[in-house]
Amino acid sequence: MIDVEVAGIAVPHPDAVFVAGEWAPAGDAIYAVISPATGQTVAEVALPSEKNGLAAVDAACVTGLTSWGGVPVAARVETCARFCALLESRLAEMETVWAVEAGMPVRYSRTLHRFGAIGAWTTALASAQDVLRDDSRSSPLGDVVVRREPAGVVVAIMSYNGPLVTMATKVIPALLAGCPVIVKAAIESQLIMRIVADCAADARFPAGALSILCGDADLGRLLAASPHVDMVSLTGGRTAAQEIIELTRQRFARTHLELGGKSPALILDDAPTQSVLKSLLPGATSGTGQVCALLSRILVSKSRHDEFVDQLRTAWEKLRIGDPLDPKTQIGPVSTPAALDRTERFIGRAIADGARVVAGGERPEGFDVGWYFEPTLITDVGEGSDLACNEVFGPVTAVLTYEDLEDGLRLANDTSFGLAATVYTGDREKGVECASRIRAGSVAINTYGPTLTAPYGGMKGSGWGREAGPEGILEFTELKQIVLGPE
């Protein structure tokens, strides 16, 4: 098979798909990979067929459950460690092709991968044997062995905005737990996931343990609906989550949902402006706004609103827009035309509702091609408005004001989401107290989180279950008690 070269990087097996540990012939459908920076086709690759999806499920059931789930934890750790080492050796390649196909600046992905992905899989590898070890207890019936067993065949459905990190927080933990995994990556992740699959092939997973398919929503539905799939783990949006729930509920298959957010940055009156900006700026604008835990709502008291907005305006206007392959670029294009249209519609509705654009708000000058949009800061955003309540998934940040601390905490919780939050304050003890009152799975104090070395996930409409950390491995296990009666 002939590799395709993109930005000087060889992308392996453009005419094949990775099924059950091997490259296999794909279907007849061809997908054009279009650069968000230019709007031009940079490669054509084959898409997985329904037959490929069914073959992946069959292999996971027939051989994966025993060839992978039945081996000692130490052996699984050894294979996964080999896989992760191969991924680390090819980070530069993946960051380059991801910039080309998704528009994510290499400056952003280098930070995300080195501190997010590597931290997540390093923690998982180090903790797997301890968290999966049998526990001995006593009972009136005799000694009891409490055992963690693999949850079964897992379908891991991933979004386009962080495929390598999701491999680290979802797929590696599921594999360590002993589950054969079928990865349904986003259709927009063709190039980066082919390199990931190439690393998986070199890691020599046993047959059936791992398949990687980059397909559309129909492929995801096919996999989730299979009666042979025991668990579906989704990173995505609410509509997709509702579909997964419907497809799995009749057979009581387990689901794990890592969904979106409308995360607040609650700035208390004692927080120094310049210290806040150091983490708030990247926390609100990274990934060109296409980050589920983005600090998309800035909450500031009415008494400090003008001061903060002036500082924020200056910071936003200095953000460098450009080619995602340029290491100096902070803001690249959004990844899809749909994201660009959605961003413009959100801003139009916000202005119609009485909000005021402070910075950005338009397509940038000098970018006549590609799906670029200025990082946008909007104030006078009303409670209950579309922009205050709903996820844009584009470079738009809303500023809302509160009266006092109680009102600020009320506003922080005034959302159907509950993924992440940050509290900025000069008093760490007060910050921790506020964190305990914010309903979110991750709350940071004076920084931008979450960390991916600890369990991470959402509350309310941001989903259920946890990824990352030792607990992320346990998410993909079932508990069993073995009661030892008389000999």
84 is catalytic: no
- Please indicate whether residue 258 is annotated as part of the active site: yes
Q: What is the CA radius of gyration of the chain?
A: 23
Q: SS3 string of 289-357?
A: HCCCCCCCEEEEEHHHHHHHHHHHHHHHHHCCECCCCCCCCCECCCCCHHHHHHHHHHHHHHHHCCCEE
Q: What average pLDDT score do residues 110-129 get?
A: 96
**Quick one: pLDDT at residue 487?**
79
What is the C-alpha to C-alpha distance for residues 321 and 455, in angstroms, rounded to an integer? 33
Residue pLDDT, tens place only, 245-261:
999 999 999 999 999 99
Q: How far apart are CA 261 and CA 458, in angstroms?
A: 8
Options 61, 80, 214, 292, the catalytic residue: 292
Whether residue 3 has pLDDT greater than 90: no
Strand 231-235 with 254-258, pairing? parallel
pLDDT of residue 88 exceeding 60: yes
Q: What's the mean pLDDT when you consider all of the chain?
A: 96
**Residue 385, both tokens:** 């408005």
- Of the residues 258, 374, 467, 475, which is catalytic? 258
Which pLDDT score is estimated for 240? 95
- Which pLDDT tens digit goes with each residue over 256-300? 999 999 999 999 999 998 889 999 999 999 999 999 999 999 999
Share of the chain above pLDDT 90, in %: 97
Q: How far apart are CA 422 and CA 431, in angstroms?
A: 9
Region 54-80 average pLDDT: 95
Q: What is the per-residue pLDDT for 15?
A: 94
156 phi, psi to nearest 5 deg: -105, 110
pTM over 0.85: yes
pLDDT digits (tens, 9 = 90+) for 440-450: 999 999 999 89
Q: pLDDT at position 274, please? A: 86
Domains of the chain, earliest start first: 4-259+463-482 (3.40.605.10), 264-455 (3.40.309.10)
